[in-house]
Amino acid sequence: MKKRLFVLAGLAFASLASTAIAAITVYDDDGKPVTLQKPAQRVIAMAPHVTELLFAAGGGDKIVGTVTYSDYPEEAKKLPNIGDNRQVDMERVAALKPDLIVIWLHGSSERQIDMLRQLGIPLFHSEPKKLADIPDNVQRMGQLLGTEAVANKVAAELRDKLASLTAQYSKRPPVRIFYQVWDKPLYTLSGHHIVSDAMRVCGGQNVFGAMKITAPVVDVEGVLREDPEVVFATAEKNYGGVSLWRPYKTMLAVKNDNLFTVDGHLLNRSGPRMIQGTAMMCEKLELARQHRKN
């Protein structure tokens, strides 16, 4: 009898030890530990780029809620919408019973994040600041979802593509860039945004990189004073786009025919497709370098 009790006690201890070992801990982009007792099965994505990262990590079938504009990949359009990145339906969030919420602090109000914290559900903050952070996010989400086999492979492929682009373009002659997110009012992105890292990889320089605000409003006169060699306007959120600059014939970007339209979904969102968007930017900047010879 004593021997049987000893065996049972040993099995119980082994079971507890196994449970402890199975706990998953990763650090989010705020440097805070996120611990799950088992891989997440029901996840809410609080930004479009988060949705893309989760799908890339092999966890698309684990997403139970997303926010407005989470439209890639195609399957994401069918997922339940719980609001936008600034205001969500907290009752619906609770009803979905998530075991992980992936948040985006830059796009969410502090009040909303505080309300999510009160639910007692683990939060992972995704805020890639550099292109290299994107495959890192994919890999860490794979750990949280238990989909490492997929996530690690995708992360490695993204790192290889980024390394190739950096080697090919980062040391090329620099090109000064104005990046136009919106034209009414005239929004750009500063050096605090990941877009500036994409420019760096391509050998580009953001003319408003030193501004303290991440998404500052500038004016036409300020852009003309900077006299960028290239203007990028995103097709995602533009009224007039690059046509705004065509009347300014003395502007270097106009004189050299370097007014380019790019897909904002590929560059304004810090998801896996941003590596593809960076490749497109690099090709445009190489074209601008060729225009110097003509």
- Average confidence score pLDDT of the chain: 90
List where CATH 3.40.50.1980 sits in the chain. Answer: 21-155, 170-291
CATH 1.20.58.760 fits 170-291, yes or no: no
Q: Is the pLDDT of residue 238 over 70?
A: no
DSSP letters spanning 145-200: HT-HHHHHHHHHHHHHHHHHHHHHHTTSPPEEEEEESEETTEE---TTSHHHHHHH
Contact 235, 97 (CB under 8 A): no
User: What DSSP state is assigned to residue 33?
Assistant: E
pLDDT in tens, 94-142: 999 999 999 997 655 677 788 888 889 999 999 999 999 999 999 999 9
Torsion of CA 264, 188, 194, 101, to 10 degrees: -70
* pLDDT band, residue 19 (cuts 50/70/90): very low
| Angle between helix 148-169 and helix 194-201 axes, rounded to 10 deg | 50
CATH superfamily of 21-155: Nitrogenase molybdenum iron protein domain (3.40.50.1980)
Q: Is the pLDDT of residue 199 over 50?
A: yes
How many residues in total does the chain contain? 294
Q: Is the pLDDT of residue 85 over 70?
A: no
Distance CA 66, CA 127 (A): 17
* pLDDT band, residue 237 (cuts 50/70/90): low
